[in-house]
Amino acid sequence: MTTTTASGPDVNIADLPEEYQELQNVVREFANEVVDPVSYKHDKEHSFPYEVQTQMGDMGLYGLPFPEEYGGMGGDYLSLGIALEELARVDQSVAMTLEAGVGLGMMPIFNFGTEEQKQKYLPGLASGKELAGFGLTEAGAGSDAGATKTTAVEDGGDFVINGTKQFITNSGTDITSLVTVTAVTGQRENGKKEISAIIVPNGTPGFDVLPAYDKVGWNASDTHPLSFRDVRVPQENLLGERGRGYANFLSILAEGRVAIAAVATGAAQGCVDESVKYAKERVSMGKAIAEYQAISFKIARMEARAHTARLAWRAAAAKMIKGQDFRKEAYIAKLVASEAAMDNARDATQIHGGYGFMNEYRVARHYRDSKILEIGEGTTEVQLMLIARELGI
């Protein structure tokens, strides 16, 4: 992995090294004072929070795991995970905008791009003034790469792209500058499809961003289907080795599972925090509901889930930045954290009673938002399959 170092911090402890704690405190303050006050507004309006996006860029959050030569902050994936967790405590949409912008938009270019591509695209993306998406999923193709129907045919030094993509994050904002898409560029000797990744700049003729989805949750996160009709881009827009598009994306997905596990952990912890606060304030039958064992035990289990999820994603991040094989740990982190988020959201809603069903309450938004954490970037069932495979069964 090009993002790794020879050694990294031992993060399987409760206390982070000082530099990480400082980052955590800064992002937590930003989440509480800037993100939270506008979170319900953007969720209700299904609007993209450009004012929050600008400030995240100014803070350097998009450049956290990238070298300074590309406009980055010189940090690592642990730094990114800490920022994602703090943001997701109050707003999963904002956290996912950052997660997808870095993990899916920037990392493929950083890990597999030419030096010219890195210099051309990464500084603008690291500034947060631009966003990028990654177009993999189609109506009948996600985990099953062999079902990819989008094609890219060579013609006079160009690729001509035709096809559609679905569920593409950060693809339709006013600051989206490019989308990297997987497409069939030929056929291998064994008869299987040759799938490559190609950079398509926003505004390229024939590249259309279709109307946004009406989603259950993540309402302030930008998600669109995409259409490509005779889209012509130069062959130097090929990202990485020809025919390695899907294989390269799998390695990106492994990193992304650590990041989305951090998002899920933040959501799980946010549900704990809100439930503790509410249980201390809500009085029933003459005393705060926190004094009832049924409530206190439920919150205790929620805290245990969030703590376990945090240890899981940090363990995976620690192996990643040390250059060790972290795939199994990433699968486990994604599984444990996404289930913790969903379970905690359900329990937090129950604790809040009728208020937990009102969208202006953060736990209600977590309840809607958390389900997709068990689906996106590899479903729960896929994680179980991959863990079993790592065990040789």
Q: CATH no. for residue 100?
A: 1.10.540.10
Question: Are 253 and 363 in a shared domain?
Answer: yes
Helix (H, G, I), strand (E, B) or coil at 120: helix
| Stretch (H or E) spanning 169 | strand 158-169
Q: Is 348 a domain residue?
A: yes
Establish if 8 belongs to a structural domain: no
From 22, 377, 381, 390, the catalytic residue: 377
**Residue 98, token pair as written in the block:** 């950052």
Enumerate the β-bridge partners of residue 194: 186
| DSSP-derived secondary structure letter, 353 | G
Claim to verify: residue 28 and residue 105 sit in the same structural domain: yes
Beta bridge partners of 176: 131
Residue 38 sits in the same domain as residue 117:
yes
**Same-domain pairing of 27 and 144:** no
Query: Can you give the residue range of the structural domain that contains 229?
Result: 133-243
238: β partners: 198
Written as one string, the DSSP assignment of 358-373 is: STTSHHHHHHHHHGGG
pTM of the model: 0.93
Distances (CA, A) of 15 to 11, 19, 74, 311, 317: 8, 11, 22, 11, 15
Residue 389 DSSP code: H
Same domain for 272 and 378, yes or no, is yes
Exposure string over 227-253, b if 16+ CB within 10 A, otherwise e: ebeebbbeeebbbbebbbbbebbebbb
Name the CA radius of gyration of the chain, rounded: 21
Residue 12 lies in a domain: no
Same domain, 146 and 86: no
Both tokens assigned to 150: 């989008």
What number of residues does the chain have?
A: 393
Is there a single domain that holds both residue 331 and residue 239?
A: no
The token pair that represents 146 in the structure block: 């062999």
Is 236 known to be catalytic? no
* Owner of token pair 């996160």: 221
Question: What are the pLDDT tens digits along the chain (393 aa)?
Answer: 334 444 455 554 456 888 999 999 999 999 999 999 999 999 999 999 999 999 999 999 999 999 999 999 999 999 999 999 999 999 999 999 999 999 999 999 999 999 999 999 999 999 999 999 999 898 887 667 678 899 999 999 999 999 999 999 999 999 999 999 999 999 888 878 999 999 999 999 999 999 999 999 999 999 999 999 999 999 999 999 999 988 888 888 889 999 999 999 999 999 999 999 999 999 999 999 999 999 999 999 999 999 999 999 999 999 999 999 999 999 999 999 999 999 999 999 999 999 999 999 999 999 999 999 999 888 999 999 999 999 999
Longest dimension (CA), the chain: 79
